[in-house]
Amino acid sequence: MDMRRLIQNWELILKHFYPKWIWALDSQQQEQERNKTKLDPIVTKLVEIRAAKTLARLDADALFWLNDALSSFRYYNYPGSLTTGDCNEVVNWIVMKKRVGISATQVAEFRKLIGNDGMAITEYRREVQDLNNRKIKCHRVFPMV
């Protein structure tokens, strides 16, 4: 498996579920040489959630990596669909402009997770979808001083 190609296309998605709508924060990852990155507090908890539908409690510092992703004050937003299952169009995608560092070792830990089908999540690719008249908006947020 070409880890460099895998990391370039890898995304970490945080989901917040509402009854009829899902907000997904997407931060594309950038390969880093060192094994310990700001994602380490999440990676170290993966052993507790190997199987689908299991939970683990994260410390508050587990989301500090978001500070880097949000530091450019730029993001893209569009209404879209789930990337797995029945692909319902119920997602409000928020894609951060700035990439966050992750090592090949950390990506390998994510690939040990077991999906709903009981198989390891080794790779997932969904074909690029048509826009279907949806608009992608670029937002620039100015920090409050």
Are the C-beta atoms of 24 and 18 separated by less than 8 Å?
no
Which range of residues forms the domain containing residue 118? 3-126+133-140
pLDDT for 137 equals 92
Residue 19 in any domain: the answer is yes
Tell me, what CATH number does 46's domain have? 3.10.200.10
SS3 140: strand
Residue 98 in any domain: the answer is yes
pTM: 0.67
* Whole-angstrom distance, CA of residue 66 vs CA of residue 56: 19
pLDDT in tens, 83-121: 776 777 888 888 877 777 788 888 888 889 888 888 888
Q: In total, how many domains does the chain have?
A: 1
Residue 59 in any domain: the answer is yes
Residue 145 in any domain: the answer is no
Residue 113 in any domain: the answer is yes
On the question of pLDDT at 26 being above 80, the answer is no
Residue 75 in any domain: the answer is yes
